[in-house]
């Protein structure tokens, strides 16, 4: 529902409506963090990893403007890296990184968790943007399967229209809250409804004993 419609229904001026919406987002995020279906946790299963680059506003601060500019996309971006399980659930993420950062640099916290939390024999399926051969994560990243990653990212942006609008550049905390909300709501949908292309393709392959990657 659009903000203008909420203003008309509840007879609120824009400033008051914005405060109510801001307050309600904190409540929603707190609730999602306590829900099992919305959890983002790294299990010991093969996964897909890929970057999600979202357009952002242009900052008046030269330093922020410079760090969010993505030369490849030729506009200002916020970089995120998401890890999807074969069920199509987000199981790890790095959110709200500067748009100038490469996916492999943004994903360093995920690489660390992959090294310390995932047993040998389990791995990520990634595209060529991510390193395949560093000694520290040798064998933890396999050959690319791009389709599954694209399905996950397309579903994320298709499910949340707000992600197709320029992200606010002036409030890092509000931007991070929005991104985390979208990820957790995505997991609620995937766990409760269970209809997505990643699940229908890759989970069946795993159950049949096929090796992905």
Structural domain contains residue 21 = no
Of 35, 48, 39, 34, the C-alpha closest to 183 is 39
The share of the chain scoring above pLDDT 90, in percent, equals 40
Structural domain contains residue 145 = yes
Compute the average pLDDT of residues 152-170: 85
Q: Is the pLDDT of residue 9 over 80?
A: yes
Q: Is the pLDDT of residue 212 over 60?
A: no
Structural domain contains residue 144 = yes
Of 39, 31, 111, 49, the C-alpha closest to 86 is 49
Q: Is the pLDDT of residue 119 over 80?
A: no
Structural domain contains residue 43 = yes
Structural domain contains residue 203 = yes
Yes or no: say if 134 and 155 are a contact pair by the CB < 8 Å rule: no
Rounded to whole angstroms, how far apart are CA atoms 37 and 187? 6
Q: Is the pLDDT of residue 86 over 60?
A: yes
Of 198, 152, 172, 151, the C-alpha closest to 56 is 172
Who's near 200: CB < 8 A, 6+ residues apart?
A: none
Structural domain contains residue 192 = yes
Structural domain contains residue 176 = yes
Compute the average pLDDT of residues 160-171: 91
Structural domain contains residue 148 = yes
Q: Residue 50: its pLDDT value, please?
A: 77
117 or 15, greater pLDDT: 15
Q: Report the mean per-residue pLDDT for the chain.
A: 82
* Banded pLDDT at 145 (limits 50, 70, 90): low
Q: Residue 132: its pLDDT value, please?
A: 52
Range of the domain at 162: 35-207
Q: Is the pLDDT of residue 133 over 50?
A: no
Work out how many domains the chain is built from and give that number: 1
Q: Residue 158: its pLDDT value, please?
A: 82
Rounded to whole angstroms, how far apart are CA atoms 141 and 132? 6
Question: Hey, how many other C-beta atoms are within 10 angstroms of the C-beta on 17?
Answer: 15
Rounded to whole angstroms, how far apart are CA atoms 160 and 92? 19
Rounded to whole angstroms, how far apart are CA atoms 183 and 189? 10
The pTM of this model reads: 0.83
Map residue 202 onto helix, strand or coil. Answer: helix
**What are the tens digits of pLDDT across the range 27-75?**
999 999 999 999 998 875 656 777 888 999 999 999 999 999 999 889 9
């Amino acid at each position: 529902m659009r903000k203008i419609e909420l203003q008309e229904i509840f007879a609120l001026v824009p400033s008051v409506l914005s405060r109510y919406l801001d307050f309600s987002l904190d409540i929603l995020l707190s609730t999602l963090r306590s829900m099992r279906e919305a959890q983002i946790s790294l299990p010991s299963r093969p996964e897909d990893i890929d970057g999600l680059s979202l357009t952002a506003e242009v900052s008046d601060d030269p330093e922020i403007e410079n760090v969010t500019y993505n030369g490849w996309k030729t506009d200002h971006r916020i970089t995120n890296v998401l890890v999807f399980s074969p069920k199509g659930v987000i199981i790890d993420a790095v959110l709200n990184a500067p748009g100038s950062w490469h996916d492999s640099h943004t994903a360093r916290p995920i690489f660390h968790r992959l090294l310390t939390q995932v047993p040998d024999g389990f791995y990520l399926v990634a595209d060529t943007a991510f390193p395949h051969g560093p000694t520290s994560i040798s064998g933890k990243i396999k050959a690319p399967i791009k389709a599954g990653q694209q399905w996950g990212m397309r579903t994320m942006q298709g499910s949340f229209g707000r992600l197709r609008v320029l992200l606010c550049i002036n409030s890092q905390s509000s931007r991070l809250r929005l991104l985390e909300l979208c990820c957790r709501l995505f997991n609620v949908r995937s766990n409760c409804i269970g209809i997505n292309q990643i699940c229908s393709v890759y989970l069946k392959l795993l159950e049949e004993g096929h090796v992905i990657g």
